[in-house]
Amino acid sequence: MPDDLVEGHGRGVDHDRIGGDRQRRRGPTRVLGVAFEQGRLRVLDVDLVLAQVDILGGPAHITNSFTTQKFHDANPKLMKAFVAAVDEASDLIAKSPKEAAEIYLKITKEKSTVEEMVAWFQRRGAIVQAGPVNSKAYADYMDRAGIIKRKAASWKDYFIPALHGRDGS
């Protein structure tokens, strides 16, 4: 993707074209998802001005795992194993971030260093748990924007029952 495009959901906005003279003098502007924030900032040698944590007023999950109700209901053992695996990975990241980073990099073959992954795990706003954090901010926005059919009363309206006994938002 060209450097002057905002990244996210496969769409881009040319900020140089819409940002006026001041923007062109300062260079391109980026809006990055938290998953890309660390690596892209390092590669581009730019400073972070505003982060997701600032916009949402605190940490929030932006990446979740998704399935259909039909698949969930048809595969209870698999769903239970998946949640247990997420819990196990979360515990490892919290207790031994270096070991978790080494395992992740070995499996994914990603070109980050162990130190970069540990920093990503420990960045401001990092969430290391299966239960949702501040997901309702996204659901409320999706309701206001007309993206979803009905407003969710609680995060439990859109997360699997296996997580309902946990702290979440």
Domain ranges of the chain: 69-163
In the prediction, which pLDDT does 66 show?
Answer: 82
Q: At what angle do helices 76-95 and 97-108 cross, to 10 degrees?
A: 130
Q: d(Cα 24, Cα 21) in Å, to the nearest integer?
A: 5
Q: For the ranges 44-53, 142-151, 158-167, which has the lowest average pLDDT? A: 44-53
Task: Please say if the pLDDT value at position 64 is more than 80.
Answer: no
In the prediction, which pLDDT does 37 show?
Answer: 55
Q: Which residue has the higher pLDDT, 15 or 116?
A: 116
Which whole-number Å values give the CA distances from 49 to 31, 73, 121, in the listed order? 10, 43, 20
Task: State the average pLDDT over residues 113-131.
Answer: 85
Task: Please say if the pLDDT value at position 42 is more than 80.
Answer: no
